[in-house]
Amino acid sequence: MLVQSPHPELPWVTEPGAAGSPVAAAPHGLFPSAAASVASFRKYQEVAVSILDKSDYTVISGNPYIKKSGWRKISCFYNISFEIKDHSIEFDDSHNVNRAEFLVRASMQSGRFSDGWGSCDRREKRFNKPNHDIPSTAETRAKNKACQQIIQLGSSQGK
């Protein structure tokens, strides 16, 4: 004898088109309408920036940009993991770091991933500890770019 259990009622799961559902059913009932898809995606982006506070932004040329702290909050919120896929560090004759490049993969549990590339050069600014700061800055830029791309959030998402 085979007994099947009914599916549990989950309060956060609704059928497309149901009252309170963020996605309305398409005329054919198989896919959400374009307008509903756009609305869902905008809500997804709003949620990402809603966890940030003023200290997670910096202003460059009058435009707000998400800082490292903001990208790390977003990556934690969406359970994004990072993997360094490749890196290159160039040294001068005295074994001091001149330049660094990193390729970092951001991955979500769903299998979605995005690769971000970042670099940093000694000539960009005066670094206090260039042998540490140059590779660290390149890695941070690569992680930020990979996170930005996987979430599909512009680098300057103003408040």
pLDDT at residue 67, as a whole number: 92
* pLDDT in the model for residue 159: 42
pLDDT computed for residue 27 by the predictor = 53
CA angle centred on 46, ends 41 and 47, rounded to 5°: 100
Fold of 34-151: Enolase-like; domain 1 (3.30.390)
Task: Report the chain's C-alpha Rg in angstroms.
Answer: 21
Question: What pLDDT shows up at residue 140?
Answer: 96
CB proximity list for 121: less than 8 A, separation 6 or greater: 98, 99, 134
Taking the C-alpha atoms of residue 109 and residue 69, their distance in angstroms, rounded to an integer, is 22
Length reported for the chain: 159
User: In order along the chain (159 residues), what is the average pLDDT of each group of 10 residues?
Assistant: 49 49 52 82 85 92 92 93 97 95 96 96 92 96 94 61
DSSP, res 39: H
Domain limits, the chain: 34-151
- Give the whole-angstrom CA distance, residue 155 versus residue 118: 14
Residues ≥6 apart with Cβ < 8 Å to 102 = 84, 86, 87, 117, 118, 119, 135, 138, 139, 141, 142
What is the three-class DSSP state of 66?
Answer: strand
User: What pTM did the predictor assign?
Assistant: 0.72
Please report the pLDDT score of residue 37 as a whole number.
Answer: 84
pLDDT, residue 33, reads 81
Tokens 């991933």, residue?
A: 113
Helix (H) or strand (E) holding 144, with range, is helix 130-151
